[in-house]
């Protein structure tokens, strides 16, 4: 595969954009080489600036669950654009998507739209602190809730990739209110609660982690957190920016049957446009301005184009029978094929999968938390990444990410992907 034009575009971008990208993980720092510049995308395929066609397993880090340029999303945005792009005034479509989201997700009565997953998680924590009147939060090493100061403590995703989990610029004052636990370690959470009695407003977690690769919760872990929160009067925030409307219509709450107090969304809910959201039962959400004292705002929150894209996407997911099973079946098929190919070439690996999220780790032990995720052989991952790219398969340029399956993938695409793994595995 030739990437000359991408490299030239990257050189130009670096002159005016820090690192040539508007989000660090895109820069290929973890895998080396220049990032691929995409020209357009349709369905399961990316078409890059050098004319290569790539099967896409990132799908904009989750949003493109039905494939790129889905007709109903594109049409909805075009229709909306013709009527104006932003008003800073309430519009009916915000109520329509809010009603639909509330009908799809358990335990939420009201939802507030924002412009990113970071904003959703940041606002959810402020709401929890304002509602509970307490300052401290518990997060989990390797979980990523966006780049708000309180979260950049042993964050996952790009922050880990950069090997700088605690970012400069985050003050000691902020960091001291963020307590850190190990994912899947209920005992440690209990100890932290005991040592910070009546000071913890909330626990925020990716109920299925996706920013250390994909790490499903161990049995009873989430229910254990639920019980601890009920016992100690702590709010449980499920960060479903990645899992929401992906793992099930009602997200992980529905899939695994554990109730959160506040749920955050992003990615899929915006259909590819900048949308985040946070939601909860009425008595919590009514603490938000202008009703209550917890302030949160945004010029482009509820933007009509973004709402049109999100409403079209949620409507498709809500009205396509068996969509989540189709996604999970395709992911299982891919898992089995990759497993067979890597085993055949005796490549040490472990694969995590749940629903339409999957990650391949070049480690021998099961990956159950940040520490075991970090045991993966990054040199092998780099070779694997570039090998797959050279066979026309685009996976996440970091071992600390999940692959995101889109229903636009055909079983032939999956077979082509498995064949590429077979060829690349021979070189590992
Ligand atoms: P954004 O602010 O990037 O929209 O969302 C932050 C966020 C919050 N919570 C979870 C569980 C997330 O996965 C994310 C963002 N995910 C990363 C990919 N792992 C975004 C990719 C990027 O940083 O460019």
Convert the pLDDT of each residue in 101-132 to its tens digit.
999 999 999 999 999 999 999 999 999 999 99
Residue 41, CB half-sphere, CA atoms under 13 Å: how many? 24
Q: Which atom of ligand 1 is nearest to the CA of 401?
A: 19
Interatomic CA distance for residues 190 and 302, integer angstroms:
38
Dig out the tokens for 272 from the structure.
């590819």
Q: Which atom of ligand 1 is nearest to the CA of 157?
A: 19
pLDDT value of residue 80: 98
The answer to whether residues 157 and 130 touch, using CB atoms and an 8 Å cutoff, is no
Q: Compute and round to an integer the Cα radius of gyration of the chain.
A: 21
Handedness of CA 194, 205, 144, 330 (dihedral sign): positive
- Per-residue pLDDT, averaged over 169-174, amounts to 86
pLDDT value of residue 155: 66
Interatomic CA distance for residues 181 and 286, integer angstroms:
30
pLDDT at position 153 over 50: yes
- Per-residue pLDDT, averaged over 166-187, amounts to 90
Stated pTM of the model: 0.97
Confidence category of residue 147, pLDDT binned at 50, 70, 90: very high
Extract the runs of DSSP E, i.e. beta strands, from 127-254: 136-140, 178-181, 200-205, 235-239
Rounded to the nearest angstrom, the distance between the alpha carbon of 141 and the centre of ligand 1 is 15
The answer to whether residues 351 and 360 touch, using CB atoms and an 8 Å cutoff, is yes
- Per-residue pLDDT, averaged over 31-57, amounts to 97
Q: Is the CB of 359 within 6 Å of ligand 1?
A: no
Q: What percent of the chain has pLDDT over 70?
A: 97
pLDDT value of residue 156: 66
Q: Is the CB of 159 within 6 Å of ligand 1?
A: no
Sequence length of the chain is: 428
DSSP H helices in 217-369: 221-232, 251-256, 282-285, 304-319, 323-344
- Nearest alpha carbon, ligand 1 atom 21: 61
Nearest residue to 302 via CA among 274, 336, 261: 274
Q: Is the CB of 25 within 6 Å of ligand 1?
A: yes
Would you please indicate which residues are annotated as catalytic (active-site) residues? 144, 239, 267
Q: Which atom of ligand 1 is nearest to the CA of 23?
A: 24
- Nearest alpha carbon, ligand 1 atom 9: 145
Show Cβ contacts of residue 256 under 8 Å, excluding neighbours closer than 6 positions.
207, 217, 222
In testing the pocket of ligand 1, which one of 35, 119, 157, 206 has its CB within 8 Å of the most ligand atoms? 157
Beta bridge partners of 276: 114
pLDDT value of residue 160: 58
In testing the pocket of ligand 1, which one of 22, 29, 61, 265 has its CB within 8 Å of the most ligand atoms? 61
- Nearest alpha carbon, ligand 1 atom 1: 117
pLDDT value of residue 394: 98
Nearest residue to 361 via CA among 24, 370, 208: 370
Interatomic CA distance for residues 73 and 43, integer angstroms:
12
Confidence category of residue 173, pLDDT binned at 50, 70, 90: confident
- Per-residue pLDDT, averaged over 380-401, amounts to 96
Beta bridge partners of 43: 68
pLDDT at position 158 over 80: no
Interatomic CA distance for residues 76 and 185, integer angstroms:
44
In testing the pocket of ligand 1, which one of 21, 117, 401 has its CB within 8 Å of the most ligand atoms? 117
pLDDT value of residue 159: 63
Nearest residue to 215 via CA among 363, 361, 347: 361
Q: Which atom of ligand 1 is nearest to the CA of 276?
A: 4
Higher-confidence residue of 86 and 2: namely 86
- Per-residue pLDDT, averaged over 392-398, amounts to 96
pLDDT at position 176 over 90: no
The answer to whether residues 38 and 46 touch, using CB atoms and an 8 Å cutoff, is yes
How crowded is residue 51: how many other Cβ atoms within 10 Å of its Cβ? 10
Confidence category of residue 168, pLDDT binned at 50, 70, 90: confident
Q: Is the CB of 61 within 6 Å of ligand 1?
A: yes
Convert the pLDDT of each residue in 216-269 to its tens digit.
999 999 999 999 999 999 999 999 999 999 999 999 999 999 999 999 999 999
Confidence category of residue 163, pLDDT binned at 50, 70, 90: very low
Burial 20-35 (b: 16+ CB within 10 A, else e): bbeebbbbbbbbebbb
Convert the pLDDT of each residue in 323-354 to its tens digit.
999 999 999 999 999 999 999 999 999 999 99
pLDDT value of residue 164: 42
When the pLDDT of each residue in the chain is averaged and rounded to a whole number, the result is: 96
């Amino acid at each position: 595969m030739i990437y000359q034009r991408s490299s030239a575009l990257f050189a130009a971008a670096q002159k005016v954009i820090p690192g040539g990208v508007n989000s660090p993980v895109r820069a290929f720092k973890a895998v080396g080489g220049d990032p691929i510049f995409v020209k357009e995308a349709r369905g399961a395929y990316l078409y890059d600036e050098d004319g290569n066609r790539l099967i896409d397993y990132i799908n904009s880090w989750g949003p493109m669950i039905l494939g790129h340029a889905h007709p109903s999303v594109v049409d909805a945005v075009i229709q909306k654009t013709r009527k104006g792009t932003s008003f800073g005034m309430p519009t009916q479509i915000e109520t329509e998507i809010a009603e639909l989201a509330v009908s799809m997700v358990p335990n939420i009565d009201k939802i507030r739209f924002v412009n990113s997953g970071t904003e959703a998680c940041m606002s959810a924590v402020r709401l929890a602190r304002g509602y509970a009147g307490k300052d401290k939060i518990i997060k989990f090493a390797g979980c990523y809730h966006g780049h708000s100061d309180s979260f950049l403590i042993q964050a996952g995703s790009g922050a880990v990739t950069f090997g700088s989990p605690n970012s400069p610029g985050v003050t000691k004052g902020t960091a001291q209110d963020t307590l850190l636990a190990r994912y899947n370690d209920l005992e440690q959470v209990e100890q932290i609660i005991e040592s910070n009695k009546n000071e913890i407003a909330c626990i925020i977690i990716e109920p299925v982690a996706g920013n250390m690769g994909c790490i499903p919760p161990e049995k009873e872990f989430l229910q254990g957190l639920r019980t601890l929160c009920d016992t100690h009067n702590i709010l449980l925030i499920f960060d479903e920016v990645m899992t929401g409307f992906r793992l099930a219509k009602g997200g992980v709450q529905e899939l695994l049957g554990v109730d959160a107090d506040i749920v955050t969304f992003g990615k899929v809910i915006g259909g590819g446009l900048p949308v985040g959201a946070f939601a909860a039962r009425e008595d919590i959400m009514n603490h938000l301005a202008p009703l209550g004292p917890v302030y949160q705002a945004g010029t482009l929150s509820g933007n009509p184009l973004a709402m049109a894209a999100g409403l079209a996407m949620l409507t498709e997911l809500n009205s396509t029978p068996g969509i989540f099973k189709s996604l999970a079946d395709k992911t299982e098929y891919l898992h089995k094929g990759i497993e067979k190919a890597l085993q055949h070439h005796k490549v040490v690996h472990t694969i995590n999968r749940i629903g339409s999220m999957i990650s391949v780790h070049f480690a021998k032990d099961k990956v159950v938390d940040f520490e075991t995720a970090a045991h993966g052989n990054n040199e092998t991952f780099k070779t694997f990444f570039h090998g797959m790219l050279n066979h026309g398969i685009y996976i996440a340029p970091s071992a600390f990410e999940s692959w995101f399956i889109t229903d636009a993938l055909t079983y032939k695409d999956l077979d082509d992907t498995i064949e590429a793994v077979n060829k690349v595995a021979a070189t590992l």
